Amino acid sequence: MNLENLKIVDREVAAEIEKEFDRQQNNIELIASENITSKAVMEACGSVLTNKYAEGKPHKRFYNGCEHIDVIEEIAQKRACELFHMDHANVQPHSGAQANMAVFMYCLKPGDKVLGMDLSNGGHLSHGSPVNFSGLYFDVKSYGIDENGNIDYENVRQMALEHKPKLIICGASNYSKIIDFKKFKEIADEVGAYLMADIAHIAGLVAAGLHPSPAPYADFVTTTTHKSLRGPRGGIVMCKEEHAQGIDKAIFPGIQGGPLEHIIAGKAVALLEASKPEFKEYAAQIIKNAKALAQGLMDEGMDIVGGMTENHLMTLDLRRTGKTGKDMANVLEKVGITANKNTVPNDPQSPFVTSGIRLGTPAVTTRGFKEEDMVEVAKIIASAIFSSDNELGLQNLKERSLKLCKKYPIYGDK
């Protein structure tokens, strides 16, 4: 990690970046929405493209000097369409939430009805939370999951028939099962609703052909690029050709000004990487590692929502232990494991405390972890939770975590 110039100009910021690199290097990253991007992606994001203003679309800019910018953005658009089998892609959204906002702005008016997944059951903030734009300006009805961690599609259908939403959202930020996009499409067609699939978490698995694609069914497909897709932090919104012009206008001038062309270049690189055979192998290992972690935790006496995982993540249900997600996420941090508190179905705790912890395997898989390593991680997690008051024991567990980290250094840096 070369910070030569930064150290000369700003030693304070350089020092904190170095500390953050050390934190990532010496901790097991199990936050399901995080990953470790390639050096090539980082080089694109740190390039001279950050100097250029490029409001508008390729070849229809409001500033001169965009001829090279246009080519790069078109490369990213083409790669997104090819990878996800969609007609049109806008790669300018600064985040997944803004990709979702563009869909709302295009096809809805304030007060229109939306059917989305409840945040506390695994949905996303931008799927209708009352504290988010999606819940503040639209009439949102929320579906959830059952005690087994499954979406009840018949319940979704009944809610759609009752409320007649104009937009139905499928996709989640914490759902460990396969999403049946075809069933969602049938429900949407039955009530005459648009269908938006938010695949932010599973984009890498979809790209690798390891999760069913929403492309044949959804009017709009939104995603982030920094989770299982392993790109820079940002978003993409894709759609059928009939919606292309409207979506582009919703992005600019609707919700954003100048696009971050250096990040778009990073997206282009990540999309190329995701098209390679080795990425498919990587994505397959993500799932293998997730299954090994889930099984390892259950073998240690822990509860997993739904009793399994079919993708890259799972939720550890702590209710039987009497511990809270907030407290145990902090305990795990003490032993060198980074995770986040998360609600479980019918959680008796508040969303700020929770009875669960969300765990995901994209980042550790990037580092090189295999199934046997995930079994060791499961043992560390269970031991930490069951002996959370034993400071000496926690220190020993931290040493075990650090041993795994040294075995799989980030970017090969030891």
**Residue among 82, 99, 73 nearest 233 (CA):** 99
- Give the pLDDT confidence score for residue 148 in this predicted structure: 85
DSSP E strands in 15-74: the ranges are: 28-29, 56-57, 60-61
Q: Give catalytic residues, as residue numbers.
A: 53, 55, 198, 224, 227, 233
Residues of the chain with CATH 3.40.640.10: 42-274
Residue 309 corresponds to which amino acid?
A: T
Give ranges for CATH 3.90.1150.10 in the chain. Answer: 278-408
pLDDT the model gives residue 152: 95
Fold entry, domain 278-408? Aspartate Aminotransferase, domain 1 (3.90.1150)
pTM: 0.95
Distance CA 178, CA 176 (A): 7
Q: What pLDDT was estimated at residue 247?
A: 98
Question: What pLDDT sits at residue 174?
Answer: 95
Q: What's the N-to-C CA distance of the chain in angstroms? A: 12
pLDDT for position 63 = 96
CATH architecture of 42-274: 3-Layer(aba) Sandwich (3.40)
Of 227, 239, 107, 214, nearest to 166 by C-alpha is 107
Distance CA 119, CA 124 (A): 5
Low-confidence ranges of the chain (pLDDT < 50): 414
Q: How far apart are CA 273 and CA 38, in angstroms?
A: 9
Angstrom distances, CA of residue 143 to CA of 105, 113, 129, 159: 22, 13, 12, 8
